[in-house]
Amino acid sequence: MATCAIVGASPEFNAEDFRARHEAGMFEFVIAVDAGFAYLEELGVKPDMAVGDFDSLGYIPKCRRVSRFPVKKDKSDMELALEKAVAWDYDDLVVYAALGGRLDHTIANLQLFAKFSEREFYVTAVGADSALRALTGPDVMDLPLMESGTVSVFSANDCARGVIETGMLYSLDDEDLSNRTSRGVSNELVGKPARIAVEEGTLYVFYPLP
């Protein structure tokens, strides 16, 4: 699996997590999305590509590859960056600074994560103290082994079928979840191996970072 890190412009940038993974050599390619370039510049990291209209950044960055788009367009800078990543044959997409900040931007990004997950790409968004995985069935996700922590699971579709949650305080056994319910919020890790599975549809799995 080839991994690409994508750094957006949300104020919720987990610099510590990015630095740790980058220094461990976990990212084969790094894309800065508009003002995300400034986050990387502060860390002393040179991205492999910068994408966007750069209205938030305020200048055209100096980068090995710069893909500039007009301000007036039909796709967000994040969507364009995700498209660039998959065009370069990266199938494991780790997205930073895409959650928090403006709620409309967060919702737009969630929709994109479901879209690319349904195209069989592995999409994870890293927040300040938690992460989000878009999980499209049939698939299984093993959660980090932790003594405690909150896990929430929501359907991105009208109905996600065959949802299973094991190893947590509350369990689901082959149930359906819709995107018109709060069911799935605030499950708890209890120090046991925990797993989430879905047979059909896409889930948003929110889980704590180890």
Measured over the CA atoms of residue 37, residue 204, residue 210 and residue 148, the dihedral's sign is positive
191 pLDDT more than 90: yes
Give tens-digit pLDDT for 30-46. 999 999 999 999 999 99
Domain ranges in the chain are 1-127, 134-200
Measured over the CA atoms of residue 157, residue 158, residue 163 and residue 167, the dihedral's sign is positive
Helix/strand/coil for 44: coil
> Selecting from 3.40.50.10240, 3.30.300.20, 3.40.720.10, 1.10.3720.10, what CATH number does the domain 1-127 have?
3.40.50.10240
CA distance 140 to 41: 36
The sheet with strand 195-198 has its strands ordered as 139-142, 195-198, 160-166, 172-177
pLDDT of res. 1: 85
* pTM, entire model: 0.95
Question: Which stretches does DSSP call E strand in 26-157?
Answer: 29-33, 49-52, 66-68, 92-96, 122-126, 130-136, 139-142, 150-155
89 pLDDT more than 90: yes
CA distance 153 to 185: 6
The pLDDT > 70 percentage for the chain reads 100
Give tens-digit pLDDT for 116-147. 999 999 999 999 999 999 999 999 999 999 99
